[in-house]
Amino acid sequence: AQRVTQPEKLLSVFKGAPVELKCNYSYSGSPELFWYVQYSRQRLQLLLRHISRESIKGFTADLNKGETSFHLKKPFAQEEDSAMYYCALFGRSSTSYGKLTFGQGTILTVHP
Amino acid sequence: DTEVTQTPKHLVMGMTNKKSLKCEQHMGHRAMYWYKQKAKKPPELMFVYSYEKLSINESVPSRFSPECPNSSLLNLHLHALQPEDSALYLCASSQAGTRTYGYTFGSGTRLTVV
């Protein structure tokens, strides 16, 4: 079974402050992890994927297999970062094709 | 074209109606998905199609019937729905294979069952 946990439903910071959105996962195989973002009234968009080790819009995320975590970080939050953020895990069982499972999401609000 | 297009954007249907949701992509993706999303909740997987064949059905009630007529199109046929089926229905696509590089999501169809 695969499971993604985002412990914070809501996260509020001030503009310019660092932000960290937590994500922990449970999966017996080698996971593929992603962060998706959903801005108000917009479609769900891929933000980051762990295999590419990239930085998008100033966000980074590092896969820590020992702690089974994939936290999303940004050193200086901007007001336009306010959105719903979902951590997601792609995994497959031996009997089925792979599937993407989402955490419960964290609503990030960046105050001016 | 790097988008997944879903139609209609909004749909209101009665509990005895039959309707269909449509999804289209031209990115050459061979895996396509239906998700259901309730307000302030994460998307929940309903169906996975891989190479036009149904690969995963997440125990979805039979009043939802998916169809993949070709590699670019995915339909979701709806019949005898209940008010609790009201939600945002999302279509997504991705490259098929041993690993994924992320899904591309459509903007969804907001369904209201009355």
Instruction: Write down the pLDDT at residue A11.
Output: 97
CB contact under 8 A, A100 and B31: no
Work out the widest C-alpha separation in chain A, in whole angstroms: 49
CB contact under 8 A, B42 and A105: yes
Region for B72 from its dihedrals, namely left if φ exceeds 0, alpha if ψ lies in -120 to 50, beta otherwise = alpha
B6-15, B20-29, B34-43, B91-100: which has the minimum mean pLDDT? B91-100
Tell me the shortest Cα–Cα distance from B63 to chain A, in angstroms.
22
Q: Which residues of A touch B57 (CB under 8 A)?
A: none
Below-70 pLDDT ranges, chain A: 93-97
State the Cα–Cα distance between residues A32 and A23, nearest whole angstrom: 13
Q: Report pLDDT digits (tens) over B27-78.
A: 999 999 999 999 989 999 999 999 999 998 999 999 999 999 999 999 999 9
Residue of A32, A102, A105 lying closest to B100 (CB–CB):
A32
Q: Which residues of B touch A99 (CB under 8 A)?
A: 45, 48, 56
